[in-house]
Homo-oligomer: A and B are copies of this chain.
Amino acid sequence: MHISSKGDYGLRALFDLAQNYGAGPIQSEEIATRQGIPVNYLNQVLISLRKAGLINSLRGAQGGHLLARAPDQINLLEALTILEGPFLPGDLLPESAATKPEDWSILATVWLNLRKTIEANLEAITLEDLCQRKRDKRGNVMYHI
């Protein structure tokens, strides 16, 4: 039960773009350097995000990537589902019953419930929230100098 590096990298890239929202296109090279991610791998992740409509990409010189929506319109559930696929997928959930032994459906209900909990937790956090938390943190650090 873990987050793969695809999800990790993808979220960090989105967070990076959120912090630069309104500042024009950001190049993948720049994101990669700032976030410590292999560029070639990041490019693949960015393609997934673009296909899903979360970012727009501009080609050519001075091209780059930018969020397709404002940071407060993108939540972590949406992003992670694109990057990692659904939580607790497929054969564990209540639909695929019948062939399975009886006790199975009791557990399926547990999983479904857990999934809902996770999704609610992530859906409540937007990219803008992350930016805000960073600003808060910065503020605190300043205070302590």
Contact = CB atoms under 8 A, between A and B. Distances in A.
A132 to B, nearest CB: 10
Interface residues on A, range: 35 or more
Q: So how many copies of this chain end up in the complex?
A: 2
Give the dominant DSSP class at A's interface.
helix
Contacts of A117: 117-118, 121
A56 to B, nearest CB: 21
A124 to B, nearest CB: 10
A103 B15 contact: yes
Interface of A: 1-3, 8, 11-12, 15-16, 19, 34-36, 76, 84-85, 87-89, 92, 100-101, 103-104, 106-107, 109-111, 113-114, 117-118, 121-122, 125, 130, 133-134, 137
29 contacts: A1-B2, A1-B3, A1-B87, A1-B88, A2-B89, A2-B92, A3-B88, A3-B92, A8-B92, A12-B101, A12-B103, A12-B104, A12-B107, A15-B106, A16-B103, A35-B101, A35-B104, A76-B110, A103-B130, A106-B130, A106-B133, A106-B137, A107-B130, A109-B133, A110-B130, A114-B122, A117-B117, A117-B118, A117-B121
